[in-house]
Amino acid sequence: MREVYREHEIVMRDEGPRCAIIFERVTGMELPTKITALPDEADQACMRRARRLIDLYLEAPVHG
């Protein structure tokens, strides 16, 4: 399962455990985190959590 959300691609993988991997579409780089599905969690619920992580990532204040 794949989905594009806010210029990021979310890829659901069944790597035992199932997980959602997030990539920046512009750079192709994988974000240094992933969402691991709970044992009885539907793929769509895991994808919703991945979208929320992207929202937090994009809304975080930039320091520097």
For the stretch 15-43, pLDDT in tens is: 788 999 999 999 999 999 889 999 999 99
Cα–Cα–Cα angle for 19, 25, 29, nearest 5°?
65
Amino acid in position 7: E
Place of tokens 């579409």: 25
Q: How far apart are CA 26 and CA 43, in angstroms?
A: 25
Q: What's the CA gap between 52 and 64, in Å, rounded? A: 24
Q: Are 45 and 35 in contact (CB under 8 A)?
A: no
3-state secondary structure of 11: strand
Q: Record the pTM.
A: 0.87
